Structure 1
Amino acid sequence: MTGQTLEEFKKAPFHLGHAELKWVSDQFNSMDLEARVSQLFNMMVMDNSPETLAGITALQPGGVTKFFGPELSRECQMLNDIRDGLTVPPLISADVEGGSMSLPFGTPVPNQLGMAALNDPQRAEQAMSIMAREARQLGLNWSFTPVIDVDDHFRSAIVGTRSYGSDTDVIAALGQANIRAFQSNGLAATAKHWPGDGQDDRDQHLVTSVNDLPMDQWQNKYGQLFRTMIEAGVKTIMSAHIALPEYMKTVTDDPEEWYRPASLNRHLNIDLLRGELGFNGLIVSDASTMAGASSWADRATVLADMIENGCDMILFNRNPAEDFALLMNTVRQGRVSERRLNESVMRILALKASVGLTELANERSDATALTQTLKQPDDVAFAQQTIDATPTLIKDRHQLLPLTVEQHRRVLVFSSGIRHSFIPHAMPLEVPELLQQAGFDVTLFQAGMRIDANDYDCVLYLLADESSLLKSHIYIDWMSLCGGFEGAMERHWNVLPAVMISFGYPYHLYDAPRVPTYINAYCALPDVQRAVVKGLTGQLTFNQYSPVDAFCGREQLRY
């Protein structure tokens, strides 16, 4: 590496001083080739087993992404064991997005779409700061947020509730708020998903998706969003398995190359993101195991192309030892140049220095101390007030709300439960129990149940499907919800007052256009469910602002 490269780290977004630059240089010069290649990997850590820890210690990766379980003491011990086993201090990352993608022992806050529904960037930034402080106290130093994708395609199951909605001005304001909240609290922020998701209804976990905007439109939308995040000082950008064919048509006549995903694409990472947009931070690939990358080429080519074509760090492994061997082989073959290898390692070290990892002794996770610092009463109270402000009443055609025990005591509930990609069976919602506690007589529909409208005073449809990986598409599965073929075709709102509530995907009106009362709550956190019940019973006023077009551009859904 040249002295000029070190000089670049004095500039945004790292702003390294003399001592930090010396640490970067000393660390880099102390590494042999194998150690440098190891730094390129960020391992996914799903459990706290000795086998997982042994794999981390053997690979010596530059970072780990931790998926947390509910036992704080075990999680803290694993983080400390990881640090103790690594020669170079690791980046420790997670998707700290709020909603279902929150720390299980942290203060509950809305997901990104819920934040957008607040229509209040200042309040949203304060809520994000709670997340950031708690994540940093736990030991995280890197978050894969903000998501700055534009929710322009209502059929997309992967963007939806993980986005800040459809308004690019709102996305820009909240993305900047996220960066300020996280980076002022010691976590590097990540703008994703380069070059911009939301134009395709497919999921890059399953297929290379496409941003097919003409370049003038892309520049005014996604280009401007990424420029804004860069100007806000975002330290990392995640390069995704998304093609940008209209840009590629300006640099190659090969139509196959038009659809090369950004994560493997020199033109998008180096020419466009670094050259034209001026990004000087770290580029991390999206998960290298996703089909959006793996469907493009064999594993060795994917790993080599990620580094050679502009990514500085490879997210996740299929098999850590095998991936290391494959990448080492491509380095020795010259498929990954010495220049790109060294540039990437230096940027990884610069990111570490920028979040204070030059003093590893200060990086310990103390479960006993955390029980005193997490979920501070003021933070919990503010977060609950924030959550109470998010559920949005999209329509109430017959002015049904609020529900009262006097008029609507006997409630029939259809519920699909909470659906999560990592949990094989739907989990029950708390809304029926909360209504029961409020004095309502609640009947939860079961398959095979005979329904007589005279036995009930109102009906609720409860859906809870947040945007997440591998869902492909989200829709109302009427057969599952209503117990079979005949039930799937019945609509009880013509004989009973009816409310449909989505604790996730905001576009269920597309499958239920005639439901007279519809609420979007954006996520299924218990505190969100309590807020919705308070709204149903008149204890709070529902939000009237929607960050997306819940009517999907169709007049039919309004009536």
Structure 2
Amino acid sequence: MKEGSSEGYLNPGAIAAGCDMFLFTRHPDDDYNSMMGGYKNGVITKDRLDEALTRILALKASLKLNNKSLHELVPDKFWSLNLAEHRRIGIMYNGNRPPNDLLYRTIPGIKGFLMKTLLSLFFKRKKSPRPYEELMGRLNVRGFEASYCSFKDILSVRAAVDKPLDEWTSQFDAIIFLAKWEVMSNQTSLQLQYKAMGFDTLWFAGEVPTILVSLANPYHGYDLSMVKTVINAYSSTPEVYDAVAAKLTGESAFKGVSPVELEFKEPEIVIARK
């Protein structure tokens, strides 16, 4: 992270506080520089650095990792995964082929053709615009250059964020985190679940102006307390998207009063004595 940023202090500060090692890193050069800066500035002392390194090496030695080959560390059965037969098992599950293409493939002749036609009609539905498309369209017609970042493809995400922090943040004037997680009868509370090894966590909230727009659940503030601007829209109808875009651009003032009050309090500990 940047030397002068809050996260530029948090990295070495975490090590100084007792965390021995980070398992994952967004950008190695940024994190290395922040660690070196923390060491030179005295945030990480020499004794603390020696202690962390000793613990890391001792843990590896206790597992005898230095005596194991690559194939011992990764068992042979894992090397054979993702073969053609494995991919065929999940072909319908991962959406690479439409369901009707699998269901009628073993039916011969005219019956197969009729079945194919009926199933195609059954499965072919008009796709509704995705939430980000709804909001992006309304922002773009107002002159913004809104783009969408998908976190489903881990390789694409890695390529997008694997840049120095200054270079990455300079691409944006603001970031909108659009959330549409709806509760159900058997799931009455929701918490954010990050994908792609956490690349979609809001690590950038302190570096780029970030806005949370929730289209369903008004309680995301508990999970995203680092975001200072939150818009609860409560629904995802076209009229709501119109209103959100108008509020974001200042065309309409905020008049609603939130029925939800998020309070962050330290737990009270009561000790009863006889």
TM-score, length-scaled by structure 1: 0.21
TM-score, length-scaled by structure 2: 0.42
With a CA cutoff of 8 Å and minimum separation of 6, indicate the structure with the bigger relative contact order. Answer: 1
Structure with greater proportional strand content: 1
